[in-house]
Amino acid sequence: MARVIPRKPRRDDDPPIDPVGATRDVLARCEKAGFVCAGIAPVQGTAFAHELRAWLQAGKHGEMDFLERDNHIREEPGKIMQGVREGVGDGVQDREQQARAFIVVADQYASRQDSDHEPHEPLHGRIARYARSRNYHDVMKKRLHALADALRIDYPGSDFRTCVDTAPIMERELAALAGIGWQAKNTLIINPRLGSYVLLGVIATTLPLIPTSQRVPDSCGTCTRCIDACPTHAITPYSVDARRCVSYLTIERRSPIPPDLHAGIGDWIFGCDICQEVCPHNSPRPDPTRAGETHPAYDADASRASLSLLQVLGWSETDRREAFKTSPMKRASLAMMRRNALIALGNAIAGIMGASTDRTRVSELRDQIESVANDTNQPELVQQTAQDVLRRLEAVE
């Protein structure tokens, strides 16, 4: 979400703004606000305009139609400030202007020191790490808004627009330009000290700031672990085909998931961390104090590491809302969560069929899916997924 903070008018007797001093002040305030790192990105056209257009034309954004809108801003991010409103009442008007700098910040939501390789309970679906705690949109927005409000007062005549995840800008490219990390082969930002378990926020501003001069070099080298480990083959170097990505499929896709991708989804029901888990830059550091510190707001709720697949299938809308009340998982509808649970349950059954002779347990679980497949009161998305899962199980018997 982007929020515009209108400027405080500049008076004739206000002192001129010193860009060097203002930059130091802004970065110090970012640190005080609890962001694990921050930098200043210059305002310039994206270096990936051709790649972005080709990616969209190939349909690799899937059902994320919003990515087709406002591409003129993605290609020229300085335009993000256009349309900022000023005035009161009938005197309100849109002001045409350009951003002069981007303040880019990062929150650390998990530590590379934390192992996530403990086995989950049987018949549970896994949740991506970032979604196991409070909604990062709320956590970051609150602090970015407070930071921008304070800067607006202390730097009269400057405008600010806060962005967390949904503004039409290339946050990862800006993060690389701001020296926070490099954009890796899996397209995520990797900080050499913290790894890739970071979330990004941006403040576009007309305040004259000095861009961070030191960029982080690409250290992926010849490594292809993320590419090799992707269970649905969604990753090619420095590009992700969202249509095959487990995170996209379980979070953004609203329609049925193609059956040929079901097996690759495994036991994930919201998001996926595989390309991060295998990355050597996310491995534990010998000195834990050098691995950064997770922001307290993201202290993971152990009960959210996974969810019972059978419970999710039995949820009401009230149950979903209660479970996701403070979570970014509320983005997924009840029908989507049931769809995801059915696919993960089908994969679990296939695993049981291949590893044991407990035909009774397999039959009981299949009956659960059949009851959904035959229930005409189920949403079409859920009923069709159940039917697809049953057909796949018949094929592997």
Active site residues: 165
Q: State which amino acid sits at residue 86.
A: E
Alpha helices in the chain (DSSP H): 19-32, 49-57, 71-75, 136-154, 171-177, 225-229, 246-251, 262-265, 274-277, 309-313, 317-323, 334-355, 359-373, 380-396
Burial of 89 (0-12, 13-18, 19+ CB in 10 A): exposed
Residue 38 pairs with which residues in a beta bridge?
A: 105
How many C-beta neighbours within 10 Å does residue 343 have?
31
Q: Per residue in 131-147, is it b (16+ CB within 10 Å) or e — as a string?
A: bbbbbbbebbbebbbeb
CA–chain centroid gap for 207, Å, is: 28
What is the Cα–Cα distance from 268 to 258, expressed in whole angstroms? 15
Query: By C-alpha distance, which of 12, 54, 11, 171 is closest to 107?
Result: 171
Residues, the chain: 397
HSE at residue 64, side-chain half, CA atoms within 13 A, is 21
In angstroms and rounded to an integer, the radius of gyration of the C-alpha atoms of the chain is 23
